[in-house]
Structure 1
Amino acid sequence: MSIKSDALAQQGSPRYLASGDPALADYYPAWLDNLADDVTVEGSMLDGAVQGADAARTIVVGIRTLYGTSQEFHFAGPCGDNGWLEDYIAQVDGKPIGCVALMTRNAAGQTQHIVASYRPRSSLLLFARLLGEKFAGTPLANYFISESAA
């Protein structure tokens, strides 16, 4: 199944400033409900890769809480034989942010690997700091706040 959007960014404007596809307003990432026990998550907002279903779920749900109701999808659909791709926008602390995320499945059909790329850089840096604050006092905070920034 493919879920495609006809919503395109204005020519010359970054896609993270374009509205999402209203047809995807009720989209839910079903891959989140089927994580492998040893799933890994990595992205431009964190240092290293986090492993484990509980940690990955905590991070993804934490990210979504920072978006509030502002998350809008441009695209969500299959990518290759074992992948799922999402292209979406949101706001973090009032700043626009865009994300392209690729989830790959293992042979059992479980989400095995999640990788997410965020833009623009200014929103990415704010986002990482806010996630570090959100996870303060937990081992997850270290993935978002560097030693030099702490």
Structure 2
Amino acid sequence: MSIDSDAPVLRGTPTYLVSGDPALADYYPAWLDNLADDVTVEGSMIDGAVQGADAARSIVVGIRTLYGDSQEFHFAGPWGDNGWLEDYIARVDGWPIGCVALISRNPAGQTQHIVASYRPRSSVVLFARLLGEKFAGTPLANFFNSETGTA
């Protein structure tokens, strides 16, 4: 396939601009209440991986506070034998953002690993900056500030 094609490039409607499922309006991530002590969280706005239940909970709760009341789920449900998948949209400081999160459980049923992929890039950059500001003065800030990232 050539990228020098004269074929027109068409734009579709990104899912982060499409409303969520009203049936999921009251969804709460129950996996957040059952974190393993050594749970890890990674995301497209995080440099590296954060480990530990308190740190992971702080990040997830911090993210949700930046959404305010704008979080809308397209999907939330089981994935494979030990996983949970979420697909949602929100607004951060007025900017649209979409996320697909994969949550994996350990054999004891506890949340072991959280991976969140955000889009579009412009919102991810803003989001990382806001999270760096939110966690300023704490060790978590280093995971969001590109100047002091751990990657």
> TM-score normalized by structure 1?
0.91
- Deviations for 1:28-60, whole angstroms, at most 9, x for unmatched residues? 000000000000000101100000000000000
Aligned length: 139
Q: CA deviation at 1:105?
A: 0.1
1: distance between equivalents of 2:123 and 2:77?
25
Root mean square deviation, CA, Å: 1.3
Question: Letter of the aligned partner of 1:107 in structure 2?
Answer: P
Show the counterpart of 2:126.
126
**Counterpart check, 1:71 vs 2:71:** yes
Show the counterpart of 1:37.
37
Counterparts of 1:1-150 in structure 2 under 5 Å?
12-147=12-147
Q: CA deviation at 1:147?
A: 1.6
2: distance between equivalents of 1:18 and 1:68?
18
> TM-score normalized by structure 2?
0.90
Q: Gaps spanning 5+ residues in structure 2: where?
A: 1-10
1: distance between equivalents of 2:114 and 2:43?
8
Q: Which moved more, 1:11-20 or 1:44-53?
A: 11-20
1: distance between equivalents of 2:148 and 2:94?
26
Larger of the two Rg values belongs to structure: 2
Q: CA deviation at 1:104?
A: 0.1
SS of the residue aligned with 1:54? helix
Spell out structure 1 runs of 4+ moving beyond 2 A.
none
- Deviations for 1:101-122, whole angstroms, at most 9, x for unmatched residues? 0000000000000000000000
Q: CA deviation at 1:12?
A: 1.9
